[in-house]
Amino acid sequence: MSLEITCTRNEADKKQISRCKETIENSSDSLNAISKVLSLAGSEVRLKILFLLNIENELCPCDIADILEMSVPAVSQHIRKMKDAGIITSRREGQTLYYSLVKSEHNVLNGIFNSISTKKKTA
Amino acid sequence: MSLEITCTRNEADKKQISRCKETIENSSDSLNAISKVLSLAGSEVRLKILFLLNIENELCPCDIADILEMSVPAVSQHIRKMKDAGIITSRREGQTLYYSLVKSEHNVLNGIFNSISTKKKTA
DNA sequence: CTATTATTTAAGTATTTGCTTAAATAATAT
DNA sequence: ATATTATTTAAGCAAATACTTAAATAATAG
């Protein structure tokens, strides 16, 4: 952990560096929270789950496993991470648990869903 | 890899499952590309770098290391990943390499930057 | 109660990730 | 040429991740 001065070039703009440090500091909570959400959505499997929940409103782990052609425990473990992070929630109906997105206006996920494009059918 | 039928409940909606599979298939390229960008932005360090580049236009690895108080090689390795993915680019000026964002209208990063909020100074 | 179904949890493991330190490039200055 | 500076690259390693299979919960049905 060497925190000596690393950059000693003449062009180094001390004011810019202080300003940037302050900017990062001021947005620190937001950066931390958003990076957590992005790291969840940054898994292709989880992005697919979130994308599906956005379209279908709610789905059970069992259906998701069928759709994504993967094992139920694998799906369940992805779901748990997203539930722990508070971006999805569940509703029980008998033995079945239905998961859905926790909606929020200022949610970074909304922008992500908007940028997912559908390929036109080529057949 | 057991791909037998996992969900046998009565309520299972076969049509919904087929429709979802098709949706995923149609957006497959987009989901893959976006999850790659999100997995890069999903690291707090890299999100900070991207956030800084968005504000400052361009920065060198050395400055970034100073701002984020981490080693130059660590920063350089994060930068390489983002450069390999095509979300940042570089310009050389003497010994110094300046990195900047590769801008694009339909970029998922734009939405992310907009959702990063600045905390008001409390002092 | 026992059996079945939906789901979660736990344990094990292979892969990936993110740093570290040291060495290699690249550009400039002397 | 040698020295200095900016940066990258490589090797090593600890921690995190994402599956697997098996076992544990939870709810319903008989």
pLDDT at residue B4 in the model: 40
How many domains is chain A built from? 1
Q: Is A27 contained in some domain?
A: no
Task: Give the whole-number percent of chain B exceeding pLDDT 70.
Answer: 87
Residues of B in contact with A17 (CB under 8 A): 63, 66-67
pLDDT at residue A118 in the model: 82
Mean model confidence pLDDT for chain A: 90
Question: In chain B, which among 32-91 make CB contacts under 8 A with chain A?
Answer: 32, 34-36, 38-44, 47-48, 51-52, 55-56, 59-60, 62-63, 65-69, 71-72
Residues of A in contact with B6 (CB under 8 A): 62, 65-66, 71-72
List the structure tokens of A40.
């969840």
More confident residue, A107 or A112: A112
CATH classification of the domain holding A99: 1.10.10.10
Q: Is A95 contained in some domain?
A: yes
Length of chain B: 123
Among protein residues, the one whose C-alpha sits closest to the C1' atom of C22 is B73
Q: Is B105 contained in some domain?
A: yes
The residue segments making up the domain with residue A67 are 32-109
pLDDT digits (tens, 9 = 90+) for A29-75: 999 999 999 999 999 999 999 999 999 999 999 999 999 999 999 99
pLDDT at residue B122 in the model: 57
pLDDT digits (tens, 9 = 90+) for B35-83: 999 999 999 999 999 999 999 999 999 999 999 999 999 999 999 999 9
Please tell me the distance from the alpha carbon of residue B58 to that of residue B47, in angstroms, as a whole number.
15
Tell me the CA end-to-end span of chain B in Å, nearest whole number.
57
Q: Is A5 contained in some domain?
A: no
Q: Which B residues between 54 and 73 have a beta carbon under 7 A from any strand C atom?
A: 70-71, 73
Q: Is B90 contained in some domain?
A: yes
One DSSP character per residue, B45-57 reads HHHHHHHHHHHHS
Nucleotide nearest to B72 (CA to C1'): D7
Please state whether strand C lies within 7 Å of residue B7 at its CB atom: yes
pLDDT band at A121 (very low <50, low <70, confident <90, very high): low
Please tell me the distance from the alpha carbon of residue B108 to that of residue B37, in angstroms, as a whole number.
8
pLDDT at residue B108 in the model: 94
Q: Which residues of A76-90 are buried (b: 16+ CB within 10 A; e: fewer)?
A: eebbeebeeeebbee
Mean model confidence pLDDT for chain B: 90
Whole-model pTM: value is 0.91
**Min Cα separation A14/chain B (Å):** 9
Please tell me the distance from the alpha carbon of residue B64 to that of residue A7, in angstroms, as a whole number.
10
pLDDT band at A105 (very low <50, low <70, confident <90, very high): confident
pLDDT digits (tens, 9 = 90+) for B4-45: 444 555 566 899 999 999 999 999 999 999 999 999 999 999
